[in-house]
A and B are shown apart, each in its own frame.
Chain A
């Protein structure tokens, strides 16, 4: 029933599109990229960073590639999947875009997946981080990360570094549960023990009681995953309650200490160890240039979302170069598979089998440099694939 309705709507849209196609197309030498990002709402900082990074990339590299002019069309979906779908339909049918990209959260990326398949155009996921996304359409390619990548690595690292007992505090929603499960699997397989497991509601006003419980469980460390934005509250209350003085460390995937928010968290966050794909303090020359240019253009530090956007647009450019400007979607996806390049985060590539990103995962510790807080990388796990998929 539902599907039929969708189909007839798509058919109607296609008919309209057919009519529109009769009009003389000026667009032979423009390539349109439809960006769907949360520019308003709770995820707006994600959208802002990706948009900024793409602007920066196009300033640096020019807006022409393989003889084609790149045109970006930005739509705001406020991270609501229904709106994502509408936006994707408009972009594909009315604007006839050659790529869709962006997608702040997993449900948004999934909502656009069937449309990408139908329209046979590449969907470049630049933010959402659940493993299953790339399995939902053969046209999805990802340049961000998966939670499995960082959560398994921090689990492996913790057991090897003298952390035996861990209490977990994760937000009760899909990414939180993903992070928890992947961490637990790797941590317990290595001989660690999870002594306390707490899932906090997504809209959680006060961490006090949960933290008190953590403190009383006396673990070596707390594994934490909370949505960006709540990280600061968590760290403040962690210090207020004296968990740092009780010798309980904080570990987790790097979302908690996102560069975007890190500086506001206060010194309580010093010493937090996380595993993640990007830090603004990554010591490569390319990253230094990237951070400097980004800061100059937008006045803030880039976070991992900015880098994902920067790599996303890079991948689109490279694919067009490889097809010599041919905009056939299937050929473009083929061209994206196996691409390898040096990103501000380090060497990355697109796995030809899963179309997911393969990248280094770094273990970092929060330290102070020049009066600002940074995630300083001290160990590297090279070329990590998405372990959420390879298991199947």
Chain B
């Protein structure tokens, strides 16, 4: 019984992590209709920034996390202004080719600067180990992930649903021409959203170093997971990818625990079944446009 709860807990933490990593992609892919396969590169950038700050410069972990966000967002906005915006109107194939090239360049660059071996971020002692709650083993680090990611999700949902910026963004996505006619600065809204998505990925990258491992191949290794989250969740809202991440996280952990021989396939099987059942994802708009 307790091992079920521990697994559930691990699954939720894993799912939350996937969500923070992938929700930026849901925004660019779903809201802005741009295929950004280089998303993982921003996550990796955040992770490495955090690692350098904590390990080499002695920053406390919690101070370095916001900087992982900020630096990934800054790189995001620089690239959006200089490179990405030229591709918004191009075909998806061009976008894929461009962003996959960018991914390979990021891999080579990080490999060159930091070396190819896996790096770890030194954690404060308070975040290490597990404690027992009514017999259920709770990992401190995973608990922190759940708290941070949970707050982020609520915040995001509030911003999108309740604020003026949120309604502008939704308007810009639904009909960019009408939105700009109404005086909304669509490119600016997109640039800001893109940067925010990259920032989230950077934060996710910093958080995932401990659990998923951080090395220069991160963007390639986890690209598939990000894409699964977005396809399964549907890309029209934040809730879709969120629930999809949780489902996949829990499914993956449970699958590996109960049927270790089949473990790695569970996540893919779930994806196939869900997509057969609902081709636009769990919360996709059916045949929009």
Cβ A261 vs Cβ B117 within 8 A:
yes
Known: A44-B111, A45-B116, A205-B225. A239 touches B137 (CB 8 A): no
Residue of A nearest to B3 (CB): A216
Q: Pick the contact of A233 from B116, B118, B222 — CB < 8 Å?
A: B118
B7 is an interface residue with CB less than 8 A from chain A: yes
- State the main secondary structure of chain B at its contact with A: helix
Task: State whether A40 touches B111 (Cβ < 8 A).
Answer: yes
Q: A206-B212, A209-B254, A236-B210 are in contact. Are A198 and B260 (CB under 8 A)?
A: yes
Residues of B within 8 A of A188 (CB): none
Q: Is A284 an interface residue (CB 8 A)?
A: no
Is A347's CB within 8 Å of the partner chain B? Answer: no
A201, A240, A241: most-surrounded residue (chain B CB, <10 A): A240
B115 A45 Cβ-Cβ under 8 A: yes
Contacts A213-B260, A242-B129; is A205 near B117 (CB within 8 Å)?
no
Taking a contact as CB atoms under 8 Å apart, the answer to whether B120 and A201 are in contact is no
- Stretch in B80-88, B149-157, B165-173, B213-221 touching the partner: B213-221
Which residues from chain B contact A229 at a C-beta distance below 8 Å?
117-118, 213, 215
> Which of A42, A45, A208, A240 is close to B253, meaning CB atoms less than 8 Å apart?
A208
CA distance A237 to B195 in the complex (A): 32
Partner of A230, one of B7, B115, B137, B213: B213
Q: Provide the B169-193 mask, 1 if CB < 8 A to any CB of A, else 0.
A: 0000000000000000000000000
The winner among B6, B111, B252, B256 for most chain A CB atoms within 10 A is B256
**Contacts A209-B254, A209-B257, A216-B3 known; A232 to B128 CB distance under 8 Å?**
no
Contacts of A191 in B (CB 8 A): none
B215 CB contacts on chain A under 8 angstroms? 42, 229
B6 touches A212 (CB 8 A): yes
Q: Which 5 A-B pairs have the closest CB atoms?
A: A209-B256, A201-B264, A209-B257, A44-B116, A209-B253
A-B contact pairs, 6 of them (CB 8 A): A209-B10, A209-B254, A210-B256, A210-B263, A212-B7, A242-B130
**CB within 8 Å of B: which residues of A?**
40-42, 44-45, 198-201, 203-206, 208-210, 212-213, 216, 229-230, 232-233, 236-237, 239-242, 260-261, 264-266
